[in-house]
Amino acid sequence: MLATMIKPLLKNKRFIAGACIFLFFLLLGLLGPVIYRVDPMEMTWDYEKPPSAAHPLGTDTYGRDILAQLLNGIRSSLYIGFLAALISLVIGTIVGSLSAVKRGVMDDLLMAITNIVLTTPSILVAILIASYFRVRSVEMIALILGFFQWPWFARAIRAQLMSVMSREYVQLSVLAGYSDLRLIVEDLIPTIATYAFMAFVLFINGGILGEAALSLIGLGPTKGISLGIMLQWAVLMEAVRRSLWWWFVPPGVAIVAITASLLIISTAMDEVFNPRLREE
Amino acid sequence: MASRSIVKYLARRFVFLLVTYIVATTIVFILPRAIPGNPLAQILSNLSRVAQAKPELIRAAERALMEEFGLGKPWYVQYFEFVSKAFRGNLGTSITFYPRKVVDLVIPVIPWTLMLLLPATIVAWILGNSLGALAAYRRNTWVDKLVLNGSLVVSQIPYYWLGMLFIFFFGVRLGILPTQGAYPQGMIPNWSWTFVLSVLKHYVLPFSSIVVSALGGWAIGMRLMVIYELGSDYAMFAEYIGMKDKRVFNYVFRNSLLPQITGLALQLGGILGGSLITEIVFNYPGTGYLLFRALTTLDYPLIQGIFVILIASIYLANFLVDFVYAVIDPRVRIGQEE
């Protein structure tokens, strides 16, 4: 089953390009800090130096190595993205499938909550919550971000399941006396798997961009480094107006490359698996 | 008949948004009280450590804070006071700018934010949708590939980072446009030509960075919508009976725009968030910049006040979009929505 899924994807040029870019940055984040063993927080007297042999991407105001910051930043931004995506996926799946299976009052209640969260500007609520914590761990930021981006997925899951549940094979399982849980795991989850994967990919983007936004206004993780924190430092030290391009360009390029490659992957998957987009 | 179903639809949306607003303000109320380590108690103790502030000012701010949050009263009294104040537009007193009222601080910065946000959002929406429709119409030509691949990348550029690139390139390197503020420092806002002209000059970079990074998302969405619609029965039928391409496309375009209008309502929060941060990068004197100052000084009454106002305006904008939708979509107009 897996082979039949992957083969048409590998014929899609867009998918290949997106996957290559993403894997490249994933490897940078995973292996980069292991191979390039420079402490991103170590201050030196070589401050605000452009790229050179000693510092391939130059240094910041405190003489800290930008490449080391970038590699560690990619790692923690990806970590936040994955964690936030996992949280959103779990909440969205639970809310959406409960709503579809239970119907009635449960459905009304869950959809009311979903619509309220959907209409509420999530990044603003994230800013408000983060502002009340003096110490913010990387995990906490992921939790805050993941907690608000699930609604559209819950609604999509519910719609998809409702349509699947009117099919015969599912009704047979109901007649056979399957429990709700068994029904969800055996009959329903397989029908939403590709969909969930695409949502997961977009949730990672939400997490990475959300972290960058929170960090830029000073509400990111209080310990460690991330792509958003690099940008925040660059803004605080007026790197842009002082032409220190090697400082503020790399973290932005990394953010755009990672999120765009994930979006390209999900778009390509849609092109391959969605019959309404296939050419005749 | 027609107008009654619009009214019914809008009334339902209004009640929903009102309930949502009450939930949102409740969250704003609960947060500072629910979070362990009580941030309010922390500010009170921190206030005394602020060296520059005079002792009598600290005591006044402390009293204001106690008064603001109704500390010491039962929670339901606090809650009732909070909500009724929020609805009457009394949002309390700022700590950083004590004794100025939160409302008096927020009202003057709102026009700057609106002036940046509204035109940029509308221009990006129109441009993005046109590009997306064009790409779908010319599907699989170089135009389509350029628009789609370009949009996939551009849509992921955070507004504020594009703003930084623009500042660096047009402001610092080429030196042709001002890079911060909404007008030159030292100038007093007035309606003279020189002032208006300098405001426009300061406007170019933040405006264009929002437009460019926002239009990609609309183009991607619109392209997909038009492709879907072109494959639908009515469009195929129109094609089979030999209707001119242009006319078919006209129908398809109008149908594809509807979901994009709903999309606009859903994106409003994200757009607002992004443009608030863009203001910070440009030192643009709008709501985002005020919020940033409030956040750095942990001025909770001001932070809360800005939120109550921002969230209310998001819901108001949502309602306006619903209204436009109801007027445009015949299914709502004749009363068979969904």
Taking each helix axis from N to C end, the angle separating A151-165 and A104-119, rounded to the nearest 10 degrees, works out to: 150
Q: What is the pLDDT of residue A203?
A: 93
| Average pLDDT, integer, range B49-76 | 66
- Residue A42 has, within 13 A of its CA and on its CB side, a CA count of 9
Closest residue to A133, CB basis, from B20, B35, B164: B35
Q: How far is B174 from chain A (nearest CA, A)?
A: 12
The number of C-beta contacts closer than 8 angstroms across A and B is: 147
Residues of chain B contacting residue A124, judged by C-beta atoms under 8 Å apart? 269, 272-273, 307, 310-311, 314
Mean pLDDT, chain A, whole residue set: 86
Q: Which amino acid is at B270?
A: G
Q: Do A256 and B157 touch (CB under 8 A)?
A: yes
Q: Which residue has the higher pLDDT, B120 or A188?
A: B120
| Residue numbers in B near A128 (CB within 8 A) | 27-28, 31, 303-304, 307
Average pLDDT over residues B313-322: 85
Q: What is the ipTM of this complex?
A: 0.88
Q: What's the CA dihedral at B139, B140, B143, B144 to 10 degrees?
A: 60
Given an 8 Å threshold on Cβ–Cβ distance, is B168 in contact with A240? yes
Asked whether the beta carbons of residue A124 and residue B311 sit closer than 8 angstroms, the reply is yes
pLDDT band at A76 (very low <50, low <70, confident <90, very high): very high
Q: What is the pLDDT of residues A156-175, one digit of tens each?
A: 888 888 888 788 888 888 88
Partners of B291 on chain A (C-beta within 8 Å) are: 127, 217
Block residue for tokens 């007093």: B188
Of the candidates A119, A129, A245, which has its C-beta nearest B31's C-beta?
A129
The answer to whether B163 and B205 have CB atoms below 8 angstroms apart is yes
Cβ <8 Å between B310 and A235: no
Range among A45-49, B59-63, B91-95, B107-111 with highest mean pLDDT value:
B107-111
Contact between B152 and A255 using a beta-carbon 8 Å cutoff: no
Helix (H, G, I), strand (E, B) or coil at B93: strand
Rounded CA-CA distance B106/B302 in Å is 8
Residue B271: what pLDDT?
A: 86
Taking only the tens place, the pLDDT of each residue in B166-194 is 999 988 888 788 888 777 777 777 778 88
Give yes or no for residue B337 having a pLDDT over 50: no
pLDDT tens figures, A20-73: 999 999 999 998 888 888 778 877 787 777 888 777 787 877 878 889 889 999
pLDDT at position B220, please? 92
Predicted pLDDT of residue B1: 46
- Give the best-scoring range by mean pLDDT among A19-33, A266-280, B26-40, B224-238: A19-33
pLDDT digits over A81-101, tens only?
Answer: 999 999 999 999 889 888 887
User: At B115, phi and psi to the nearest 5?
Assistant: -65, -30
Across chain B, what does the average pLDDT equal? Answer: 81
What is the structure's pLDDT at B64? 67
Residue among A213, A240, A264 whose CB faces B273 most closely: A213
Q: Chain B: residue nearest A135 by CA?
A: B37
- Alpha-carbon span B97 to B100, nearest angstrom: 6
CA distance B66 to chain A (A): 17
